[in-house]
Structure 1
Amino acid sequence: MQEFQRKQLLERIEREGATVGADIPDEIEVQGESIDLSTFVFEIKRRDTVPKGERERVEQAKKNLRRERIQRKQRIEEDDITFEEGEAIARAIIGIDRALNALENLGPTDLEQEAELQAAQDKKRWTKFLKKALGHEDDSSGIGTGRGR
C-alpha cells in the first residue's frame, strides 16, 4: 500500500460522521473470540433499561471493542498490507465504531458528564480547525507558535 493510501484510510476512520449509514458487522473477531456483534447490540438496545448484570457485560464488550479498534488501526498504520486489506480493516473499524456508538447511547445518562464530554469534543474540533486554518496542522507545540517563521 502506498503512503497516501494509508493516510486516506486513517483519515476515513477518524472522520466525523464516518459511521453514518454504516452497518454493524454481523460477526467479528474481538480479542481472539468470535462475537455475533449485530445480534448482541440489537438485543441490548431493544430493552428499555439494561439490567445490572448486563451492564457489566456491555462495559466489558465496549472495552474489548475499543481495544480491537486500536489494534486494527495500528495494522493500517504499521503493517505491510495491501490497500484492499486496509480497506477491509477500515470497514471493520467503522463497523466497530457504529457498534460502540450504539452501546454508548444505552440507558440513563449523566447529564453533567455528557455536557463536559460535549464541551471537550467541541474544544478539540475548534482547536483542530484553528490549527488547520493557521497552517499549524503538524505543529504539536500549539496554536500561534509559528509566527515569525
Structure 2
Amino acid sequence: MKEFERKQLLERVNREGATVGAEIPDEIDVQGEEIALREFVFEIKRRDTVPKGERDRVEEAKKNLRRERLQRLQRIEEGEIPYEEGERLAESIVGIDRALNALEQLRPVDIEQEAEVQETADRKRWMRFLKQALGHRDGSNTSGRGGGRP
C-alpha cells in the first residue's frame, strides 16, 4: 500500500462522525472467535438498560472490541498490507466503532442503588411535609413544638 493510501484510510477511521451511516457488521472475528456482533448489539440495545447479570458480558465484549479495533488499526498503520485489505480493515474498524457507540450508550441498571436513591428522596419529601405540617418553615426550630410564633 502506498503512503498516501495508508494516510487516507487512517484519516477515514479516525474522522469525527465516521460511524454516521455505518452498519454494525453481522459477524466479526474477535480474538480468534467468530461473534454475531449485530445480533449481540441489538439484543442488548433492545433492553435500553443493562441488567446486573448482563453487565459483565457487555463490559467484556466492549473490552474485546476495543482490543480488536486497536489491532486492526495497527495493521493499517504498519502499511505492509495490500490496499484492498486495508479498505476491509478500515470498514470493519468503523463497524466496530458503531457497535461500541451503541454499547456505550446503554445505562446500567442497579436496582439496589435505584431503590436507595428513591428511598432517600421519599425520606426528604416526608421530612419537608412534617416540617410544613408542624409549622417549621426554615427548619431552625428544633424544640419539637409548633413554630414558636404567637
Q: TM-score normalised to the size of structure 2?
A: 0.70
SS of alignment partner, residue 93 of structure 2: helix
d(CA) in 2 for partners of 1:36 and 1:21?
A: 20
SS of alignment partner, residue 29 of structure 2: strand
Partner residue in 2 for 1:124: none
d(CA) in 2 for partners of 1:97 and 1:88?
A: 14
Q: Does 1:35 align with 2:60?
A: no
Q: Deviations over 1:108-146 (max 9, x none)?
A: 59xxxxxxxxxxxxxxxxxxxxxxxxxxxxxxxxxxxxx
Question: Cα distance, 1:79 vs. partner?
Answer: 4.5
Question: Partner letter of residue 69 of structure 1?
Answer: R
Percent identity (aligned): 76
Partner residue in 2 for 1:76: 76
Partner residue in 1 for 2:105: 105
d(CA) in 2 for partners of 1:108 and 1:35?
A: 23
Answer yes or no: is the 8 Å Cα contact 2:26–2:39 preserved in 1: yes
Q: Highest CA radius of gyration, 1 or 2? A: 2
Question: Cα distance, 1:48 vs. partner?
Answer: 3.5
Question: Cα distance, 1:10 vs. partner?
Answer: 0.3
Q: Superposition RMSD on alpha carbons, in Å?
A: 1.3
Question: Cα distance, 1:49 vs. partner?
Answer: 2.3
Question: Cα distance, 1:64 vs. partner?
Answer: 0.3
Matched pairs, number: 109
Partner residue in 1 for 2:61: 61
Runs of 4+ in 1 over 3 A off after TM superposition: none
SS of alignment partner, residue 23 of structure 2: coil
List alignment gaps of at least 5 residues for structure 1. Answer: 110-149
d(CA) in 2 for partners of 1:49 and 1:106?
A: 5
Q: Deviations over 1:4-47 (max 9, x none)?
A: 00000001000000000000000000011100000000000001
Q: TM-score normalised to the size of structure 1?
A: 0.71
